[in-house]
Amino acid sequence: MTAKIIDGKEFAARVRAKVGEHVTRLKADNNITPGLAVVLVGEDPASQVYVRSKGKMTLEVGMKSVEHKLDVETPEADLLALIDQLNNDPEIHGILVQLPLPKHLDEDLVINSISPAKDVDGFHISNVGLLGTGQKSMVPCTPLGCLMMLRDHHGSISGMDAVVIGRSNIVGKPMAQLLLNDSATVTIAHSRTKDLADVVRRADIVVAAVGRPEMVPGDWIKPGATVIDVGINRLDAPEKGEGKTKLVGDVHFESCAAVAGAITPVPGGVGPMTIACLLANTVTACCRANGLAEPEGLTA
């Protein structure tokens, strides 16, 4: 069996196009432009690239994009004051503080100072609680992207057996909750799970989000299962030349693709969906703030 490749790049382009259509309608019908503010503290190179990409795509879909770049030594009080200002700005519908933060800043305190209605990352404790109880919330972008791809591929995942490998607050736990809310039967597995291979082998859906390169081999996969690989790991690639590296996921792609029914590649799978869902969340937040119907197909 050769698995169908779930093309995250192409799917993300479709999501961004839908977002763009909603933004155009909001402007034309309601004279409202969704606004996203991104706050970057310090000069982490990977974060800078990510923030630039977010800003570019925000503008491409017609939204307002605001960036606040703060010095690495910025006092916590100053960052909290900026967040308070953005919370009270009616033209800003989404606020994202780029993580990780410098060590002198309390990430939990900073995240929980964002208004839950503008928390487009879905990390605020109120949104975590709402998601966990099946209520309307802002949903973390990466799990939302995974869910969108699963719904698109399967139509319905009701009654399917799903295993999430990884229990992080950013991906593993919210992913499990989203699958549960869609009536899948869900197991959260992790590094201490006994007989992990046997647990994974029974799954119709495997979401690998453990942060260990190529940890899941093909003989762990049930024939015909759908594999969503959230991992992004950089490994040395001497075959490409001295000092060269390559990106790999948390599953061993070749062996899993030979068994699975469908699989996301790395790169080009889940990754592109994260920013697309950030844009989708900003439109959703804008609609909710203005008492308008939520965009169809862009929320959980």
Say what angle helices 8-30 and 271-289 make with each other, to 10 degrees.
Answer: 20
In the residue annotation, 48 being an active-site residue is answered as no
Three-state DSSP at 278 gives: helix
In the residue annotation, 54 being an active-site residue is answered as yes
Interior CA angle at 45 toward 240 and 210, to 5°? 70
The residues, ordered by sequence, that sit 6+ positions from 171 with a Cβ below 8 Å of its Cβ are 140, 142, 143, 209, 230
Please pick, among 18, 118, 121, 229, the residue that the annotation labels catalytic. Answer: 121
Please pick, among 98, 119, 182, 250, the residue that the annotation labels catalytic. Answer: 98
DSSP state string for 87-150: HT-TT--EEEEPSSPPTTS-HHHHHTTS-GGGBTT--SHHHHHHHHTT------HHHHHHHHHH
Residue with tokens 């119709």: 204
Please pick, among 54, 64, 118, 173, the residue that the annotation labels catalytic. Answer: 54
Q: How far apart are CA 108 and CA 99, in angstroms?
A: 11
In the residue annotation, 98 being an active-site residue is answered as yes
The answer to whether 81 and 274 are in contact (CB under 8 A) is no
Burial class (CB in 10 A: 0-12, 13-18, 19+), 289: middle
What secondary structure letter does DSSP report for 167?
Answer: -
Burial class (CB in 10 A: 0-12, 13-18, 19+), 147: buried
Question: Which residues are known to be catalytic?
Answer: 54, 98, 121
